Every structure is written in C-alpha cells, then in structure tokens.
Amino acid sequence: MSAESVCFSSLFNINHIICNIESDSRDLAIMEILRKLAYEHGVGNVSHVFDAVLAREEEMSTIIGPGIAIPHARVDSVNELVVGVATSQKGVQWPDGSVVKLLFLLIVPKENPGIYLQAVSALASVCGEPDAAEKIAAFTTPEEVWRYFERGGMVLPDYICAGDIMSEVEVSLSENDTLERAIDLFVKHYYLSLPVVDNAGELVGVVSAQEFLRVVLPDYILWMDDLTPIINFEPFAEILRRESMTWLAEIMTTDIATVQIESPAVQVAKEMTRLRTEIVFVLEGKILKGVITLRRFMDKVLRE
C-alpha cells in the first residue's frame, strides 16, 4: 500500500449507513439510501440522480456477488465519490428475482472516470466471499458495519489496470486448428478476431476475419476494375475446397495488441491507437488471461 492509498472505509461514515433497510424492493431501497445521502452529504437533485441510477440498472444489472449489488450513476452534481451503504436481513428484491442483502450506492463525479472502478476493485475481496452479505447484514448498528470495512483494510488501487476492465476469453483457437474451425467460430459467435493459444495457454497469434479476407482476395484483385472473372466468388470457392487442410499458422498474424494484466488501463488505449485495432489481449507473462474490446473500454471508462 502506497503512502497515498485511500482506504475504502474513508469514503463513507456511519451517517451514510442504513442497517436493515425498511424498503424491500430495488427502487424503493435506492431512493431510501439517496434521501439519506442527500441529507447527510448532498448529492444534488435527488430525482435526477435516482433516474440516472435506474437508467444504469436498465442497461446492466449491478449485482456483482452473492447478495451484493452496487447501483451507481455518474452525475454532474458531485465533485467527489459519494458512498451509501445499506444492509437487509430479509433481502431486497431485484427485478430479476435476485435477493440482495448488501447494497453500495455510489454517486460518481462525471469528470472522474476512474474512481468508480477503483472503488469496485477495492470491494473485490468482499464480493468474493460467498457469505459476506449474510455476515454484514447481521450487524445491528452502522458502527459495526463501518468497522468491518475499516478492519478489512481495503484500499483503492493507485490506478485502474487492464485486469480491472478486461472480460474473459470465451472462445479461442488451438494452434493445431484449421481454417474450417476458425470460419465456424466466426459465423457462430460473431467474433471478428480469435486468439490462438498453445497447449500451455500462451498466446501465439490471432486469426481475424479481416486477415481471412486478405488471404481470399490477393492484392492484385483489389486493383481490378473488371470483377467479371470472380463475380461468382471463385476465390471463396477455392478456400472452401481446402479449408479443412489449411492450418491456422498459414493465416494467423503475430502482430497483436497486448498488455500485461497489471498494465495501466490507459496503456490499452495507447495500444489500440498505435496498432489501429479495436481489440487488445491481456496477458500474465505469456499466458492469455482476458480481452478488452474498444466497446468495453469505452463503456467501462466513459460510462460505467
């Protein structure tokens, strides 16, 4: 922990905590916490902030662990992160049927894109405990709740790293796969780039739909004004005849945008810009750990 590290418990105090909240539905619970924050701290127009929180909920559920939710919104009316905490022994009903017993309401300054992600990263250790929500919901006073986080020593990371914003790699190719399998995955999963890994899980290359088209359509075709000789997709027919015999090594590229899992998230933007790509692969050493698309990067940094 650096000398300037911020403890999560310093972001709120006992006056920002509601033990065993009365409201038993998501919307009512959020409004109850908001009203308390408005009285104790000030958050601007409560109705406006409430609408912003619900709008974010409609985009994506903020349940991040067993019985734990982090509803939040970015607004112009605060200049620092405002945190409200609520517990519920009986549980707050979320629209999808989930039961939440520990809520963190985060009101995030719009001009500070990293602070929410830093706070969530600090909470990761709590969210990873399967009984954390039950344990904290059993406390009967705000002092007990606050002390739990104070004793836990959770700190906000000094910066957001690639590991904080990456998603898991859902589909990958083996270096022993053929073009046939790559095409099948392109069509089935709508991916435009697929990582190729070896038996140890190390990233060895990437097969992209764009690179596939370059293989099918040699450069000379791009200069042809008269496409009559290939009007019936003759180059594609040739590829299809040998797709099961074309190894990925023949078409994959090793010119890949990568960052290490602990690299600052801004490094992701740098690599996307430098290599003019919309996808960056996240490594731990040489092992593939995750992927960050331009869309995910923008959502996490600029909207979430």
Residues with catalytic function: 72
Distance between CA atoms of 73 and 137, rounded to whole angstroms?
A: 24
Are 145 and 17 in contact, with CB atoms under 8 Å apart? Answer: yes
E strands, the chain, are 6-7, 17-18, 63-65, 68-69, 72-75, 82-93, 99-109, 155-156, 173-174, 193-197, 203-208, 258-260, 279-284, 287-293
Distance between CA atoms of 174 and 196, rounded to whole angstroms?
A: 5
Are 73 and 53 in contact, with CB atoms under 8 Å apart? Answer: yes
Strands 173-174 and 193-197: parallel
Alpha carbon 242 to its chain centroid, in Å, reads 39
